[in-house]
Amino acid sequence: MLASTRTLAARPWLYLVTPSIASTKEVVRIVDEAIQGGVNVVQLRNKLYAPDSNELREMAQAVREITQAHQVPFLVNDYVQLALSVGADGAHIGQEDATIDQAKALIQSANVNNFILGVTVRDAIQATAACKAGASYLGVGPVYMSSTKKQANDGKTINLDGLESVATTAASFHVPIVAIGGINASRVESCMNSKASGVAVVAAISEAQDIRAASAALWQQVSKYHAVV
């Protein structure tokens, strides 16, 4: 059973996507300090390791423990089976990953409730398909040029007009959206004003000299808004 979209949108999201680095200890440090600064959703994304590797499983378990201690939702990027096996709160899939129906079949077979399933989209057509298929929320972008996922740019950012277009489509299904791609503190206001329920951030937090302070600065901007459903 997938999580209720209304429950997800109870407050605006400051959503951390972890960088792809090898050290579990460093990932946990980033996550811990980011949560202390205001991050309230964490996604583990690591392309250095295979989904069935011991290294990625250990990292996922460690991040699960720290997010659980802080009572912050934890999702795993791409790998639904891994998310289920470590007791994550959800998973996030892209357009080139498992289909929503495949993901839902895994979730149903695991017999878990309130599992969050996020889906990456970049336009209203993809958003409509994802919402109809049962996505819990949408990650929408890249709004700006991404420094951490350059293949997502493809020379084409969706800009704020594209973000608002997807937001309008998703709102008709009562599905919240999170803006992603090149987000920093100076861009939060524009994204939230374009009807996003939150922003997803990688480099603006993980590459900051003071992760807690960077997260707090972002949260100060995000917290001015109400989530949109």
Measured distance CA(108)–CA(4) in Å, rounded: 15
Question: Is 87 part of a structural domain of the chain?
Answer: yes
Question: Is 229 part of a structural domain of the chain?
Answer: no
Question: Is 107 part of a structural domain of the chain?
Answer: yes
Measured distance CA(133)–CA(145) in Å, rounded: 28
Question: Is 227 part of a structural domain of the chain?
Answer: no
Assign residue 111 a region (left: φ > 0; alpha: ψ between -120 and 50; beta: otherwise).
left
Question: Is 228 part of a structural domain of the chain?
Answer: no
Q: How confident is the model at residue 9 (pLDDT cuts 50, 70, 90)?
A: low
Measured distance CA(30)–CA(61) in Å, rounded: 15
Tens of pLDDT, residue by residue over 159-194, are 999 999 999 999 999 999 999 999 999 999 999 999
Note the pLDDT of residue 153. 45
Q: Is the pLDDT of residue 157 over 80?
A: yes
Question: Is 19 part of a structural domain of the chain?
Answer: yes
Note the pLDDT of residue 148. 60
Note the pLDDT of residue 5. 60
Residue 169 structural domain: 5-222
Note the pLDDT of residue 228. 74
Q: Is the pLDDT of residue 23 over 90?
A: yes
Note the pLDDT of residue 227. 74
Tens of pLDDT, residue by residue over 40-91, are 999 999 999 999 999 999 999 999 999 999 999 999 999 999 999 999 999 9
Question: Is 46 part of a structural domain of the chain?
Answer: yes
- CATH (domain of 138): 3.20.20.70
Q: How many domains are there within the chain? A: 1
Question: Is 205 part of a structural domain of the chain?
Answer: yes
Q: Please state the three-class secondary structure of the chain as a single string.
A: CECCHHHHCCCCEEEEECCCCCCHHHHHHHHHHHHHHCCCEEEECCCCCCCCCHHHHHHHHHHHHHHHHHCCCEEEECCHHHHHHCCCCEEEECCCCCCHHHHHHHHHHHCCCCEEEEEEECCHHHHHHHHHHCCCEEEECCCCCCCCCHHHHCCCCCHHHHHHHHHHHHHCCCCCEEEECCCCHHHHHHHHHCCCCEEEECHHHHCCCCHHHHHHHHHHHHCCCCCCC
